[in-house]
Amino acid sequence: MIILGIDPGTSRIGWAILKTKKHDILPLEYGCWELKEKEQEKRLLRISQNINRVIKKYQPDFLALEKVFFFKNAKTVMSVSEATGVIALSAEKNKLPCLRLTPLEIKQNLIGYGRADKKDVQKIIQLVFSLKEIPKPDDISDALAVGLAGINKIHHEKLKKHH
């Protein structure tokens, strides 16, 4: 199974392609799209183009997308929500099932504690994938975490169906 993990943002979007192979989960590729466009419409178009390119290249089975649920700044939550909508629409157009996970679910899934801090999640990502360093910027390790939590959730759901 191949999963595309996405950490949506306003000026940066982290992404990661993970592949399950027997009992291993391997990161095939990951990165961060820097959105330099001033106009939101142009940023949204760029997000769509980037998502479509990665989907075509890796043919993932699922998209795991972090659900934005709280920001101190209303303007920020609106633009992240628009980006999330474009990502979900791109997934739908590509007939790619979209799994949305809250930050709480991701932390609960990876660490067993939903209120864990960002550093704990980054350390888990570094350990699970045997990375020399925690990927920078944080959006990348967040995308790896979203993808990993997505794989774990899918496997958990499959196990529940068999029992």
Q: Annotated active-site positions, please?
A: 7, 66, 139
Residue 65: name the closest of 155, 153, 124 by CA: 153
Total residues belonging to the chain? 163
Alpha-carbon torsion (28, 137, 14, 54), positive or negative: negative
Can you read off the two tokens belonging to residue 138? Answer: 């944080």
Phi/psi of residue 12, nearest 5 degrees = -140, 140
Query: 87, 124 in Cβ contact below 8 A?
Result: no
Q: Kindly tell me the number of DSSP H helices and DSSP E strands found in the chain.
A: 5, 5
Query: What distances in angstroms separate CA 57 from CA 52, 102, 141, 146, one per listed residue?
Result: 9, 27, 21, 20
Please state, in angstroms and rounded to a whole number, the distance separating the CA atoms of residues 77 and 81: 6
